[in-house]
Structure 1
Amino acid sequence: MRTFHIGQTVIPYEIDWVADRETLDLSLDHSLELTVRAPMTMTIDEVEDVLESRREWLLEKLYHLKEQSEPPYPREYLSGEKLPYRGRQYRLDVIEADVPEPQLSFDGNEFTLRTHRFDAPSDHVSIRRKRQAIVDWYLQRADADLPERSERYEAKLGLSSVPIEVGELEGSWGEYLDGTIRLNWRLILAPVRIQDYVIVHELAHNVHDDHSDAFWNTVGTLTPDYKDRREWLRVNGNSLVV
């Protein structure tokens, strides 16, 4: 994964080299990751020259993404659907297996959901069972990954071993209470830079009680583009569902 910088704004991007392609095409999804489809004959420098020439277009796409008033349509958890994880979308493959309960696994490229043969795709109970298995997997990943990301920033604030609790938070991505940080498990669906923003935001409350200028200066010290990250969460937060 490469990155392109516009001021302090960092845009992750990957290049899809296409043998028969003659022109370069750009697409930016809701994870704010850029996909570049380029001819095989193009060099990296030439790709970045095009990105430089499209700065205004990229900024417009970044800051004027259509806000989602409603979350995505409910999933049925069928093969071919995609599940979000750390800001990217991965294909879901559903297979029949000798399991009492649905079980989700991830190999780095694709999710696999193993289900009992009685978990019919159109059955509402089966859909709930499949969703619960998926949520349980995300909860486990969030419980393992988010505290580890917090450790990257604690020392910079003179903190150590800040307690992190991961779970269901109603109407909040994170909160700080009595020395403990609580994080919404759905953050694991977001790009890691968004996870980091929420973590830094809550860690800063160890130092500053309210959202004063000093508080935001602390947040900005660790995440200089925090306004961009905060805006991404405001615009795309409703899409972080399974």
Structure 2
Amino acid sequence: MSFAYQVIRRPRRKTASISVQPDCSVQILVPSFLSDLKIEELVQRKSGWINSKISQFEEIRRNSGVKQYVSGECFTYLGKNYRLKVIPGVQEEYCAKLLHGRLQVYVPADTERKSQDQLVIRQLSAWYRQRAAVRLREKTQRYAARLLVAPVSVGIKEYKSRWGSCHTDGRIYYNWRIIAAPHSVIDYVVVHELCHLVHPDHSQRFWNLVGTILPDYAERKAWLKVNGGGLGVEF
């Protein structure tokens, strides 16, 4: 193992769980009766998953700086990093694509650097927005069925300081940039907004409802608070 971990014993807890925080700290939540040996066995068994989560958080933090719109730069989509590949040449349509594990964009040959950057940004922005619209509607439909609610409409917007909004008439909008976050975090934002259709506030009843769908919502919320500003899609 290449990580330290904190054991938290809780008398009312019946099962053990592992939590990797955005600061890469690891917490093991266990019932009071679970022996140290069993805890160690659990950590050993899950060490691959733990190291993978730690690497994911570290990678996101490393790539939260100023982006360069050139081949080799990293962009995050659904919590995973993809290298950008800028392909010069004549195309019928200049639009970004995710192919063979790379985000590919196309620019006319001999384009000046400033103009090339602008063209790459336009393609990436359009691609992220399109994927956000599709994925977020899919997730909203799935979780709405579980919550027995029905939003009037679902759309995407560009917000400065929020990840979503739920209007009193049933319209829900999401910040398209959330599509860069891991699935678990996107799910939290979707469930959060859908629960506002039932409780248009942040009362305990609201959070209890969120918890019925996502028992670990606090961890997902914490991830977003720490990493939300560094998703790397500021086009």
2:107 to 111, 115, 131: 115
Could you tell me whether the CA contact under 8 Å between 2:73 and 2:83 is conserved in 1?
Answer: yes
Could you tell me whether the CA contact under 8 Å between 2:96 and 2:103 is conserved in 1?
Answer: yes
**In structure 2, what is the equivalent of residue 165 of structure 1?**
155
1:176 to 166, 187, 208: 166
Could you tell me whether the CA contact under 8 Å between 1:8 and 1:225 is conserved in 2?
Answer: no
SS of residue in 2 equivalent to 1:103: coil
1:79 aligns with 2:71: yes
2:135 to 113, 138, 145: 145
Number of residues of Structure 1 aligned to a counterpart in Structure 2: 201
1:81-118 superposed Cα distances (whole Å, 9 cap, x missing partner): 11111000011111112037742111251111111113
2:89 to 97, 118, 142: 97
TM-score normalised to the size of structure 2?
0.73
What are the ranges of 5 or more consecutive residues in structure 1 without an aligned counterpart? Answer: 1-5, 12-27, 33-46
CA apart distance, 1:202:
0.3
What are the ranges of 5 or more consecutive residues in structure 2 without an aligned counterpart? Answer: 1-14, 26-40
Q: What amino acid maps onto 1:86 in structure 2?
A: L
TM-score normalised to the size of structure 1?
0.71
Distance 2:47 2:101 in 1: 32
Could you tell me whether the CA contact under 8 Å between 1:9 and 1:225 is conserved in 2?
Answer: no
Q: What value does the CA root-mean-square deviation take over the aligned residues?
A: 3.6
- Would you tell me which structure has more helix in proportion to its own residues? 2
* Sequence identity (%): 34
